[in-house]
A and B are shown apart, each in its own frame.
Chain A
């Protein structure tokens, strides 16, 4: 309640006459209403409206007038800024200025916490829209100085903690007043992210996809709450509804996340403003499509120290390119018309802001854009017209500079905030830089002065030999101590427009003489010319997608391809067709036959080679940023489609082994897992293009050791036994039924994403692929499904499927199994490699899957194992990695076999496809060649060349004295079913 009063207090009192009513006990009441006029300056009223030789009149902290001919009232203090520039002070729109970092929950318990710690708020502690940092805001003078020095006059600050983070404050960086004046807006924006609050240990959500699902449910619940349907008080939802009309600023960590955040927003009619990460250039088209305004940090990495070749060879091209390409990000965003503001966020200190911005400008970023991205755009984002410009009536927040503010040679002299002066560099200090002839003690020394403002400093040489000296400069007075056969102290004043200085000198014995120095003019001009000619050449490596080794610069085009005289494995009743031609056209298999000919096609001689359908992997965990949302025993609300990662090198490695389609499954951390993504491994495409159109809906279920947390020493989550696993299913399906009854009744109901998903299962619209091992649990799930009148689609792993193959066949469920894995845990003690054969012989549709990104690049070999173990025919064996998994995924009308009219997903092998000696020559998806064994060799060479080019560039930087960073190796993450953590990419 106290906080609330405070807020109202700020809102209701206008700035101009606030605190007039406060009693004064320190003297007499004074009013400070002085007018100040800045004349003869180049004034950037806005980035577009520039006044030459203009006047800015400031009154009561605001712009009273601005223009070419402003009438200056009597008694105005006039500051002549001839030759200088005035810009609106910058706005840092993403900041935690004045707000202490939240304290991490100190609980040291290692077991997972499932419940929320707060009461009266949303069930999830990471949803904190009620956070209002005003109560904890403390103006940080040190940080303010740092920002003022960099030209900033206002910050939009907030508590950077949680998924929904509450509102921000807009603060003028005015050290000379109180919070009562400087806080411009107490509800400037609402902030969000995918990251959990550190203040609570509540486990959910444990993944990116969980955070996305949670956001969706929160929005639904907020709506439900707003309509007055909830019996309880929920302060979080109440706050969320109140913050609804604020701009919503979403923090993301990479360009994939930016697209993900935007997707969630779009679903609820919210256009987030997105805090980017600086890698937007890597997928600029997707960034553009979000239609979002971005906030972009400019934290560039240092070159790697590549002087140790052993260390250097560990750095991936991905990371080397980051160093090389990041400075081009702003220019790429600008050229693509993406609106964005800049921020100092992620920079250790605002001091480096200008250096990095200058670098971006060198890389092609336009200065006018730069100004807009620091003034008008951030103002527009938060809908504030009184900052970020110098229109009449706006806050007198402006900087005075010696020249173009984005030039390295310019100096920011003053930063006025709310009409209060902050001096950064004394603008009356003369520029005395240059080379002088210094005469003292009968000797001629060379004095060279460089630097800016008060920091100008000089070095002294005698006939090219450096003389130890100290130089200081203040208020037109120079002091020099030089050590040449004893100390000589010089003191003197600058005269004659800084070209000459003279004064008294005291030699080592204390004798007073005189000294003088005069500027050598001609030489300076010459040097400047030299500098120009050696201007840095900027070389930015081209961006591929994904922007890593083996990425594509150009996506393969759909071609008409005629493969001649090849052995065709149809995976259909037609079996194997020798000496056959296959025509691929418009992404489809157009014709299969003998002696085909067609015009305008690319012909491939298939003599001695084999053509098969692309391999379909029913169980994969590649190409995803997360596998498990295991913080609840059911996570039906999450979907892998949200987190498909098209930058995973394993996509490329999989197509090098002939795999063209994969179901990316949720892991097996909980009985009811998440929804799948079924993707085509179209290397170089984005996530959206990889996911099947009208993709069949799937969800992962899991049984056994993983879901009962068998290998955790402190499992506390229900279930802990196979007995409990059954009850989880019965419970959720019962609740889904009740939900359906309510939904159908016409009564208002709370839309529940999890229940909606379960309903899809009950209604046969969503298929289950269930991780399973031992016969008891397999039998159990069949019975649960039968009780609720639906069918399990697939048992995956299903290593004891052979024991209940008859029951599986009767239920009509398929089996997708490993060829020969066993003995890695207790529940696979009875796993046998003959499993596939027995299930097949009992009438079950059987697929061989990988669950392993390495195995998924050689599933042809795994299929071959069923010939050895159990005597499958080669034709049937091959179906187990093509048409059978396609059937299990309900995409057998599109892929999985070579049949006229089907999608042109085919693989050309140099040998019998199940031979151990088989190698893929081409992998074609939708009629486009995504892998070609010869192109691959070229890509290897290109990686080598680009790396050595970059290494040379980095060495050059190091030799030139640039700061470097130690090399890092990108460790490979191997996702399996039971991988709990997520990657950062």
Chain B
């Protein structure tokens, strides 16, 4: 009794400080969700669906009209919607807590070529930002290091974990290359020369990348007994086990980046950011290269661009046959990662079919990451990482999540923020 009191008091007084949610334990009871509209993440919908999962894996996806035995706990979800967990690409969650506090920042490393630098080991599974993703349906993310030319190696995590080892879905999935820009200009508002010129540095910077990969390839072939960590870290690129995410803007740069990668036999390519990609869609389609777009909630690039340029781009690329994803890069990217469904919704408002917009942040995202055997869609055999929403999860008003599961584990939807909400809502109610 005394102990229980202690625990209660403990939470009452310091609950706010230790607000991180306790990760859910392994699924032991089967769960059946019945009656919801299921958005499968592959463009298809099942109205009045039945979804069942056991031991963390989906065992049944079909109509609730099917006369089949419901297993385990039954969740009645008539009128609700069920989605595969949303997947954030090119995110930095868990690497920085407060943007302006340098001590909380583990986002980038010094040096130019850092393929050996790994984001996963810095990923803070207990970040207050990570837990704030879950009430919006964002349940998985690719955690990407930033900075330099080769910024490092990313990993893919799920968002209910004790530590980074627990969190990892796919370790070291990709290496991230920041391709240089071919143009340079001064900041006119600071009185610098505003002229936009072909950058004299561009060929030199491209050559640096070229010689790095040349040396790395040679090193890997030579079986040198002296270890070279950066070179060794690129092995997966050449044997196809790892993807190369090229963060690049501009049609010329995209073309150069793809050409060079192919010359090195790096076949698993993804273009990130990709402004100007709409002009080289033939090249992208021919080589099967997806494009991860930046968040649409940003201003168009040029004064003369249409106001909805950043909203319509997903539709434009998809129409030309390009596989499109949604990345988080940009200002305040960590806190904004929870707005992932609304970014997809904005693409839908401006041309994309609604289910295609869902697919963009589920099935297609998993495909781009190479985790589609495991996640991304509601299909038998895949991880039971999914959630139930009161309504359309791409719409702010109806993205209200009642239950969420990661690998079949029913996770908490509370956070530092909900704790404060409840505490103060209660304070004023009782006053």
Contact = CB atoms under 8 A, between A and B. Distances in A.
A855 B332 CA distance: 13
Given A823-B97, A971-B185, A832 B421 contact: yes
Contacts of A857: 307
B349 interface: yes
B425 interface: yes
A834 B198 contact: no
B428 interface: yes
A868 B399 contact: yes
A806 B297 contact: no
Interface stretch (B20-28, B98-106, B222-230, B258-266): B98-106
Contact of B101 (A802, A825, A834): A825
Contacts of B342: 861, 916
A184 interface: no
Nearest to B395: A916
Contacts of B420: 802, 830, 832, 834
Contacts of B374: none
A379 B128 CA distance: 72
Contacts of A549: 303-304
B21 to A, nearest CB: 16
A316 B99 contact: no
Interface in B257-302: 297-302
Interface in B68-85: none
A826 interface: yes
Interface stretch (A484-492, A529-537, A962-970): A962-970
B345 A821 contact: no
Given A318-B303, A841-B425, A968-B185, A861 B396 contact: yes
B196 A311 contact: yes
Q: How large is the interface on A (under 10, 10 to 19, 20 to 34, 35 or more residues)?
A: 35 or more
A768 interface: no
B203 interface: no
A503 B431 CA distance: 116
A868 B428 contact: no
A824 B332 contact: yes
Given A806-B431, A854-B298, A916-B345, A834 B303 contact: no
B189 A973 contact: yes
Interface string B94-119: 00011111000000000000000000
A833 interface: yes
Given A653-B299, A825-B99, A854-B297, A919 B350 contact: yes
B424 interface: yes
A654 to B, nearest CB: 9
A625 to B, nearest CB: 10
Given A826-B101, A918-B349, A966 B399 contact: no
A972 B299 contact: yes
Contacts of B128: 823, 829
A25 interface: no
B386 to A, nearest CB: 19
Contact of B348 (A824, A916, A947, A969): A916
A811 to B, nearest CB: 15
A804 to B, nearest CB: 9
B187 interface: yes
Contact of A711 (B100, B392, B425): B100
A368 to B, nearest CB: 38
A592 interface: no
A823 B334 contact: yes
Given A308-B198, A649-B303, A918-B349, A826 B100 contact: yes
A310 interface: yes
A744 B394 CA distance: 61
A984 B307 contact: no
Given A311-B196, A316-B302, A825-B101, A864 B396 contact: yes
A838 interface: yes
A867 interface: yes
A113 B421 CA distance: 44
Contact of A970 (B183, B194, B299, B335): B194
Contacts of A855: 297
Nearest to A548: B303
A916 B424 contact: no
Contacts of B190: 981
Interface string B173-195: 00000000011010111110011
A974 interface: yes
A940 B306 contact: yes
A874 interface: yes
Interface in A903-959: 914-919, 936, 940, 943, 947
Contacts of A973: 189
Contacts of A915: 395, 397
B346 interface: yes
Contacts of A219: none
B197 interface: yes
B396 A868 contact: yes
B428 A841 contact: yes
A866 to B, nearest CB: 9
A314 interface: yes
Interface string A547-568: 0111000000000000000000
A981 B191 CA distance: 11
A968 B189 contact: no
A359 B168 CA distance: 69
Q: Which of B190, B302, B303, B395 has the most A CB atoms < 10 Å from its CB?
A: B303
A868 B397 contact: yes
Interface string B356-395: 0000000000000000000000000000000000001011
Contacts of B308: 656
Contacts of A914: 396-397
Contacts of A834: 417-418, 420-421, 425
Nearest to A316: B303
A823 B129 contact: yes
Contacts of B148: none
Contacts of A314: 183, 196, 302
A833 B417 CA distance: 8
Interface string A629-659: 0000000000000000000011011001100
A220 interface: no
Interface string A831-867: 0111000100110000000000111011001001101
Nearest to A652: B307
Contacts of B171: none
A823 B98 contact: yes
Contacts of B303: 316-318, 548-549, 649, 970, 972
Contacts of A311: 183, 196-198
Contact of B424 (A805, A919, A936): A805
A838 B335 contact: no
A967 B197 CA distance: 7
A803 interface: yes
A315 B304 CA distance: 9
B306 A854 contact: no
A943 B300 CA distance: 15
30 contacts: A311-B196, A314-B302, A316-B303, A318-B303, A650-B299, A656-B307, A656-B308, A657-B307, A705-B100, A802-B421, A806-B428, A823-B97, A823-B335, A826-B98, A833-B417, A834-B421, A838-B421, A838-B428, A858-B297, A864-B397, A868-B399, A868-B400, A874-B397, A916-B348, A916-B392, A917-B348, A940-B306, A966-B195, A968-B196, A969-B194
Given A825-B100, A838-B424, 20 more contacts: A310-B252, A314-B302, A652-B307, A653-B300, A822-B417, A823-B98, A823-B335, A824-B100, A834-B418, A841-B425, A855-B297, A868-B396, A917-B349, A943-B304, A966-B195, A967-B197, A968-B196, A969-B185, A971-B194, A981-B189
Which 5 pairs, one residue from A and one from B, show the smallest C-beta to C-beta distance?
A916-B345, A549-B304, A825-B100, A864-B396, A834-B421
Interface of A: 308, 310-311, 314-318, 548-550, 649-650, 652-653, 656-657, 705, 710-711, 802-803, 805-806, 820-826, 829-830, 832-834, 838, 841-842, 853-855, 857-858, 861, 864-865, 867-870, 874, 877, 914-919, 936, 940, 943, 947, 965-974, 981-984
